[in-house]
């Protein structure tokens, strides 16, 4: 193999479409833009969602719901992940170090998903009613 003999793989390169270069090219005259109208002209286009002055779809439909900006600080942990963690005492810092919750999490709650067999003491962490019952049944506590 020589440097001057290197070529791209077959089909990797294709000729750029050259428009407005005569009848023979098949893309002469209007250059694939059709006849007249705003879309045929240079610089003539409209913003996304514009419907020619008709009330746009995103404004015709009703507004619904909202997303709390505080949700990003909330995190949840499953019973199964507590089981895998294998610590006797769990707090928010331990969960952050284990990578189970995000670093910006402020409020952590345990949800009932999976099984828990080890006794786990939770400090500064909430739990749903079902999760609390499962933790206490395994000999742990929620503080």
Cα–Cα distance measured from residue 135 to residue 120, given in angstroms and rounded to the nearest whole number? 7
Predicted model pTM: 0.54
**Residue 46: its pLDDT value, please?**
85
Is the predicted pLDDT of residue 3 greater than 90, yes or no? yes
pLDDT 10s digits, 90-125: 999 999 999 999 999 999 999 999 999 999 999 999
Tokens of 68: 């709390």
pLDDT 10s digits, 36-74: 999 999 998 889 999 999 999 999 999 999 988 888 899
Cα–Cα distance measured from residue 6 to residue 123, given in angstroms and rounded to the nearest whole number? 65
Domains and CATH numbers, the chain: 15-64 (no CATH), 71-142 (3.100.10.10)
How does strand 74-78 pair with strand 89-90? unpaired
């Amino acid at each position: 193999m020589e440097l001057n003999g290197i070529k791209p793989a077959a089909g990797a390169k294709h000729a750029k479409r050259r428009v407005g270069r005569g009848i023979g090219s098949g893309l002469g005259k209007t250059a694939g833009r059709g006849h007249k109208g705003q879309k045929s002209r240079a610089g003539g286009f409209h913003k996304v969602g514009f419907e020619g002055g008709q009330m746009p779809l995103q404004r015709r439909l009703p507004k619904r719901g909202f997303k709390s900006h505080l949700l990003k600080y909330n995190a949840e942990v499953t019973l199964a992940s507590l089981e895998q963690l294998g610590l006797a005492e769990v707090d928010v810092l331990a969960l952050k170090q284990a990578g189970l919750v995000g670093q910006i999490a402020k409020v952590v709650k345990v949800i009932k998903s999976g099984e828990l067999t080890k006794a786990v003491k939770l400090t500064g962490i909430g739990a749903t009613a079902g999760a609390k019952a499962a933790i206490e049944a395994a000999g742990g506590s929620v503080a």
